[in-house]
Structure 1
C-alpha cells in the first residue's frame, strides 16, 4: 500500500477502537485452495494489534470457507527489499509448518512489492501473486512528500523521519514484533516514482510495459493478478475517507484511490481497476465502514475460489 508516512500516522491510531469479526467454521470449502494463502500488509501496517486486524474480517471469512490463511508482519516502514526479505523468512516458516511446497501471496499496497520480491527470489515457493491497490509504478503522494522533503532540507527530513520511525516502532511493539526495524526514508524512496521504476527494472515480472496496460499473467509458472478501487470518499462515518480525499489531490485529477493511481495498481492480469473503494476500503477498513456497493471481504473470497478452480 502506498501509504504516505506523513498522511497516515494519525488515521492509523483510530484503528485502536475497532473489534475483529468472530472466527467461524468451514461452510463447504468454497475458498479451500491447494496452497496456503499468505497476506502481506502495506506501509504503516501490521498483522494484528490487540483486537485490531489489519485485514478486517478477511482472514476469518476465508477460513470460514475452507482456506488456510496466514497473516504476516513486516516493518511498518522500510524499503521494498527489506520488507521482502522479512516476508521471505515468514514464507519459509509457513512452508515448514504446513508442509506446502508453495503459497499464494496477496499483498496490499506496499505488500505488493514485498510479495513480488519473494516471487522473484524464490519462484519455486510461489503459486500466485496478487497485488491489491499496489503502487507498482509508484505513488504521486510519495512523489509529493519526496519533493516537500527535498525542498524543506535535511533538518526537516530528519525530524519527520524520526517521528514516523517512532510511530512504526510503537506499532511494532503493540503488535508483538518489537524486533522489526523502521526506516521511513527507505520506504519513501521505494514508493516514489523513481524508486518504483528502479525496483521494476530489477524485478520486472508481470509489470505492464505500457502506462495502463496489463502485464504477463504467468511468469516462471507463477500467476499474477491485481485489483484496485478508485475514488476517495464513500462513507461519511469513516475518517479515512476524509484523509483519502485530501491525499487524492496529489494526483491532480487522475483516477486514484487516495494513495495509489488506478494505472499504477496494474500487475499481471487486472481483475478490476474500478471497485467503488478507496485505499483503505480494499482491506475492509475502517471497521468495515465502506461505501454502498462495496464488498471487499467477498472479493477476497471470490479470488480464493478462482485459484481453487485452477487447481492451485
Structure 2
C-alpha cells in the first residue's frame, strides 16, 4: 500500500440528487473509495437526503461532519461532492469554514442546470404531468431507500419540489447570492481558490462524440440517457455532460472542465463502464495527491 493519497484530513464523499451510499452491494462511488484507501486516504462516503433542498442536505452534512471529527480525532475534513452534492458541501463550508479544509465540486451545477430548467418549464408541479412525474420519482426514491444498505440511520426527510428548485438556474442564483464562496466573477472563469481558510476546486466533463459514446459506454444505458438530456441545453449546447453545463460547473480552481465523461461516468458509473480512454478513478487519486501536497 502506498501513501500517495494519505491526506492530512479525512475525505468525505457526498452524493448528488437520488444519491445513496450502497444499493445492496453496489456503491455510488464505484471503485473510487477502495482506490483512495489503497493510497492511504481515510475516506468516508456519507448519506444525506436523496431528495431535498441543498440547504437541508447541508445541515444534515454538518451534523455528520461533527460526528466524523469526533470519531477520527481530525480537526477538519476534505469535502468532495458530486452533482447536487457539490452544492451541499458548499453550504456546509460556508456555514462552518472552521470544520472544512477543502471543497471539491465534481460536475456540480454551481450556476444551475439547464435540464432542471427544462423540466420546470415542461412539467410544472401543479399540472397533471408534473404530478405524474413527481409521483414516479418519489416511488424510485422510496425503492432506493429500501435498498440502501450503506445507511442505517433515521429516515431522512424528502422534499422533491425543494430538491428540483435547488438545481434550477433561479434556485442556484438565490443560493449563490447567499453563499458565493469560490464562485467565478466572470462566466466561464475561475474563482478564488482560498476563501475563509477553505480551498475550493472543481472538475467536470462533456459529452464528446467518438469518445464518450465509445468504449464500455456502448453498453451503458446511462450514457444514452445523458445524450438525450443534453438536447435540452441551449446556453451550453454541445458543452454539457448531459445534466450540467461545462461553465456552470466552475468553482474555485478549475482542474478541468472538458474531460470525456458524462454525468455518471465522472463517478465511474455504471459498473466502471465509461467512455473510450476515460479514467475517472484516476482523477480522484490525482486530486487526493493534490490535497496532500497542499497540506490538507
Is 2:189 the counterpart of 1:213? Answer: yes
Distance between the aligned counterparts of 2:108 and 2:264, measured in 1? 12
Equivalent residue, structure 2, for 1:4: none
| Cα displacement (A) at 1:80 | 0.6
Q: 2:246 aligns with which of 235, 258, 262?
A: 262
Aligned twin of 2:109 = 135
Aligned to 1:249: 231
Equivalences, count: 285
1:60 maps onto 2:54 in alignment = no
**1:164-195 C-alpha deviation (Å, 9 max, x unpaired):** 12221221222145601221111110001000
- Residues 1:119 and 2:93 are matched in the alignment: yes
Q: Quick check: 1:132–1:227 contact (8 Å CA) kept in 2?
A: yes
- Superposed displacement of residue 154, structure 1: 3.4
Matches within 5 A, 1:80-91: 80-91=54-65
The answer as to 2:222 corresponding to 1:240 is yes
Contact kept? 1:38, 1:70, Cα under 8 Å? yes
CA distance in 2, matches of 1:136, 1:279: 14
How does 1:1-312 map onto structure 2 within 5 Å?
27-150=1-124, 153-175=126-148, 176-177=151-152, 179-231=155-207, 233-234=213-214, 235-252=217-234, 253-312=237-296
- Give the conservation status (yes or no) of the 8 Å contact 1:233–1:278: no
SS in structure 1 of the partner of residue 181 of structure 2: coil
TM-score (norm 1): 0.89
Q: Distance in 1 between matches of 2:224 and 2:135?
A: 26
Give the gaps of 5 or more residues in structure 2: none
SS of 1:129's partner is strand
- The root-mean-square deviation of aligned C-alpha atoms, in Å, is 1.3
How far residue 68 of structure 1 moved from its aligned partner, in angstroms, is 0.1
| Mapped contact 1:75–1:172 kept (Cα < 8 A) | no
Contact 1:233 1:244 in 2 (8 A): no
- Partner residue, 1:15: none
1:50 CA drift (Å): 1.2
C-alpha displacement at 1:250, in angstroms? 0.8
The CA deviation at 1:153 is: 3.9
Displacement of 1:237 after TM fit? 0.9
Aligned to 1:5: none
Deviation at 1:292, TM superposition (A): 1.8
Give the Cα separation in 2 of the matches to 1:237 and 1:158: 32
Q: Deviations over 1:211-239 (max 9, x none)?
A: 11111111001000000010063421111
Residue 135 of structure 1: SS of its match in structure 2? coil
**Where do 5+ consecutive residues of structure 1 fail to align?**
1-26
State how far apart, in whole Å, the 2-side matches of 1:167 and 1:238 are.
20
Instruction: Tell me the secondary structure at the aligned position of residue 264 of structure 1.
Output: coil
Aligned mates of 1:154, 1:82 — CA distance in 2? 26
